[in-house]
Structure 1
Amino acid sequence: MKNALIAVCTAAVLLGCNQDDNKKSAQQANDPTVVVPAEELRNQLQLAEVKTALVNETLRVAGRIDFDEQRVARIGATITGRVTEIDAKLGQVVRKGDVLAHLNSSELSQQQLAYLKAKAQLELNKRNAERAKALFEADVIGAAELQRRESEYQIALAETRAAADQLQLLGVSPAAIAKLGSHGEVNSVTPVVATLAGVVVERKLAQGQVVQPADALFMVADLSRLWAVAQVPEQQVGLVKAGQSVTIEVPALGNEKLVGKLIFVGQTVDPETRTVLVRTELDNADGRLKPAMLASMLIEAKPVERLVIPSKAVVREEDVDHVFVAEDDGVFRLVKVKLSPDHEGKRVVLSGLKGGERIVVDGAFHLNNERNRKEMEGA
């Protein structure tokens, strides 16, 4: 009787287990994202709770190499004139003060004549004032006449200075003005000179062309230091600030990593692209970097609290990231997630998990193979 009772109990337990197994099998058959692994496989799985952690996120934004605007000079004519000679070529290295082109200007000639006339009038009025002073001392003329002659001299002196200042505004050096005053030789040709030492990177003039002071004829740049600039989306701009470490990858240099620091974070948002300009400075003494080269800027953002999972917990299905979430009774469900790129073996959860779930962190690949196998068998 006792043995019969034991047999009945054993049968009941086995029946219950079979019913549970049947229930799990039915659950799996109805939902392809669910898998109930065998006990042997289940014992090999390692689970962990999804938690938050401080993450030093790296922002990757597209950028480019650009001129250092503090080392660029846009050089134009100081006077209206016709181009008679072009001395500088594109790519030529020039020093400050080197002549880039020559212009012939009738305006310059007229201003030189105005200066010579003012200087001649000044000499005449100076002599008249000196003579008037001698006559006044000899009691030949009165004080009023002396004051009139001295006033004429002061006016002529001011007019001569104004004419000299006008010549300087037209690009004539003080030495050239002094030479003009002593020799009286008018020269209508004026040079266009480099105001910065560097490389001629732009030339916008042709022989015989008439140019105006507003025209930019040459652009000279010091390429020993350049900028790397990028546009950070406004949603992420709060993660960056001046002084942060930056890594620059330049495809033209085989994605060689160049390290720098952010020297500028824009204060305004571009209304069209919804981005903010950031900038770093790079040494280019060897000349390998060229303006307009494409680059990727990797910015080490300040640490923030984010949901994080191990990279090894992720499985790819149909080019989408998934993880296995443990449910009751040994059931595991494949859940679609959106994650950031891998960083030091961890990935930030962007969507799909809320935190607190228990996921498979070791053995997810084998568990997914088991799920696929049973799904094929069911099909």
Structure 2
Amino acid sequence: MKIFVRFLVALLLLGAIFGGIFGYKFLVQFQPPEGAGEPRPANITAAEVETLEWRGQRSAVGGLTAVDRVNVSTEAAGTIDVIRFDSGDAVSEGDVLIELDKSVDNAELAGLETEAELARIEFERAEDLLPRRAISQSEFDVARARLDSAEAAVQTQQARIRQKTIEAPFDGLLGLREVSVGQFLSPGSSIVELRQLDPIYADFTLPERFLSDVEEGQRIRISTGAYGDETFEGEITAIESGVSPETRSVPIRATLENPEGRLRPGMFARVTILEPMTRKVATIPSTAVSFNTYGDFAIRINETDEGLTTERVQIETGETRDGRVEVTQGLEPGDRVVGAGLVKVRPGQPVTIDETMTLDPDEVSGR
């Protein structure tokens, strides 16, 4: 029994010794370093509230329309003898596109010209005989009527022959050819589509409440899906006289120069209507704003005795352009804000600014 008691005491002593050793090592290993309770500074990118001059503008969507557009066709029936154009050619007014077979028409013209010449000779003879009372006045009138009729027949045939030469009615760009040599065309048959591309129209609509803000001569800027961020400028040249009762919007037409023909009819266009006056606005990058249902906010950077700290600031925003947001209330020009990554920064947290990184607002999108 004594041996058992001694053995139990020894085990308890050993346990206490080893427990003290392991407890000490645990405390040393997991003891927090000095200053660990303080928040660690976050490395951030800063952006400054900048004052810019923005021109007032309205946005709309529309489409491009050719100033003149026509399906070139024929007035006279006939078989195509010569085609003088290729698909996609640029043509000038009066350029010959198609010539129909004129052999029969020319033969008929020759016969009519012969009859007209005979009628002219008979009229001249009657004109010489009338003063000598060799013919009656009625016979003279008949000779003159025959001459007039013969000359009219010649002019009619000449016009019919001219109809068999189809010309471009205005300068423009041809579409795809729809006919072939030897094909018979009836009156009205479509040959090719011709569009005038310079200048070109941009047609769009605005809600009626903005009607008082637009006028002829006002500048506009458009962009299309084909050319990305590239823009083209023109001016408003016509405003519809009435408002659509279905949509309560007013159709508007602007005219743009298009010397290289890059803009094509049917293109979708995003239209920006520029107001003549500019205004100064305070702006920050859109990445520096947290947009949410309960109000927009930014995180301002304040200088304190302990260093730079952050503060959540409720702001009111306006327009968004080119990756920057207008701030109408909450921040002042010159204030610095956290430029990106707002979810990683807590209000009141100390920060350090990474001067090696800058934000390019043109590379970020708006709302």
Q: TM-score range by the shorter chain?
A: 0.5 to 0.7
One-letter identity of the residue aligned with 1:132 = L
Root-mean-square deviation (Å) = 4.4
Call closer, same or farther: CA 1:219–1:95 in 2, change over 3 Å. Answer: same
Match of 1:80 among 62, 77, 80: 77
**1:70-94 Cα deviation digits (max 9, x unpaired):** xx56532231223343331111233
TM-score, length of structure 1 as denominator length? 0.55
Distance 1:104 1:235, change over 3 A: farther
SS at match of 1:122: helix
* Identity of matched residues, %: 21
Is structure 2 residue 116 aligned with structure 1 residue 126?
A: no
Q: How does 1:281-296 map to 2 (within 5 A)?
A: 281-296=255-270
Q: Structure 1 residue 270: deviation in Å?
A: 4.6
Check conservation: 1:239, 1:302, Cα contact below 8 A. Answer: no
3-state SS of 1:158 partner = helix
Match of 1:98 in 2: 95
Offset at residue 315 of structure 1 (A): 6.2
Whole-angstrom distance in 2 between the partners of 1:217 and 1:83: 11
TM norm structure 2: 0.57
Q: Which amino acid aligns with 1:276?
A: V
Q: For residue 146 of structure 1, what is the aligned residue in structure 2?
A: 136
* 1:158 aligned residue (122, 137, 148): 148
Amino acid at match of 1:157: L
Q: Deviations along 1:310-347, whole A, 9 cap, x unmatched? A: 777x96454x47269xxxxxxxxx99x99654698647
In structure 1, distance between residues paired with 2:198 and 2:320 = 35
- Return the offset for 1:151: 0.7
Deviation at 1:262, TM superposition (A): 1.1
Q: Across the two proteins, how many residue pairs are aligned to each other?
A: 270
Q: Distance in 2 between matches of 1:97 and 1:245?
A: 34
Distance in 2, Cα, partners of 1:262 & 1:279: 6
Indicate which of 275, 278, 282 corresponds to 2:252.
278
The answer to which structure has the higher helix fraction is: 1
- The Cα of 1:256 is off from its aligned counterpart by 1.3
The match for 2:295 is: 322
Matching residue of 2:170:
196
CA contact (8 A) 1:128 1:149 kept: no
The alpha-carbon distance between structure 1 residues 172 and 164, as it changes in their structure 2 partners (threshold 3 A), is farther
Kindly provide the CA deviation profile for residues 99-129 of structure 1, in whole angstroms up to 9, marking residues without a partner as x. 2122236984686367336514523532441
Query: Whose Rg is larger?
Result: 2
For residues 81 and 271 of structure 1, do their structure 2 counterparts lie closer, same or farther at Cα, with a shift above 3 Å needed? Answer: farther
Q: Work out the CA distance in 1 between the residues paired with 2:244 and 2:110.
A: 52
Q: Deviations over 1:214-254 (max 9, x none)?
A: 34423334434322222323343332111111112233223
Alignment match, 1:63 = 62
SS at match of 2:97: strand
Cα distance in 1 for residues equivalent to 2:147 and 2:162:
19
Change over 3 Å in CA distance of 1:241–1:283 after alignment to 2: same
Q: Secondary structure at the match of 1:203?
A: coil
Equivalent-residue separation in structure 2 for 1:84 and 1:170 (angstroms): 16
Which amino acid counterpart does residue 129 of structure 1 have in structure 2?
Answer: A
Distance apart, 1:68 and its partner CA: 2.3
Is 2:105–2:161's contact at 8 Å kept on the other side of the alignment? Answer: no
Amino acid at match of 1:87: R
Q: Summarize the Cα distance change of 1:258–1:200 in structure 2 as closer, same or farther, 3 Å threshold.
A: same
User: 2:318–2:325: 8 Å Cα contact kept in structure 1?
Assistant: no
Q: CA-to-partner distance for each residue in 1:255-283, whole Å, 9 max, x for gaps?
A: 21222211122223455655433222222
- 1:290 positional shift: 2.9
In the superposition, relative to structure 1, how do residues 240 and 76 fare at CA in structure 2: closer, same or farther (>3 Å)?
same
In 1, Cα distance between the equivalents of 2:260 and 2:172?
14
| Structure 2 stretches lacking a partner, 5+ long | 1-53, 298-313, 348-367
How far the C-alpha of 1:63 sits from its partner, in A, is 2.4
Q: Which residue identity lines up with residue 82 of structure 1 in the other structure?
A: T
Which amino acid is 2:143 matched to? Answer: Y
- The 5 Å alignment of 1:1-379 reads 57-69=56-68, 72=69, 74-104=71-101, 108=105, 112=109, 115-116=112-113, 118-130=115-127, 132-133=129-130, 136-137=131-132, 141=134, 145-170=135-160, 172=162, 190-270=164-244, 274-301=248-275, 316-318=290-292, 320=293, 322=295, 341=320, 346=326, 360-361=330-331
Cα separation, 2, equivalents of 1:151 and 1:235: 72
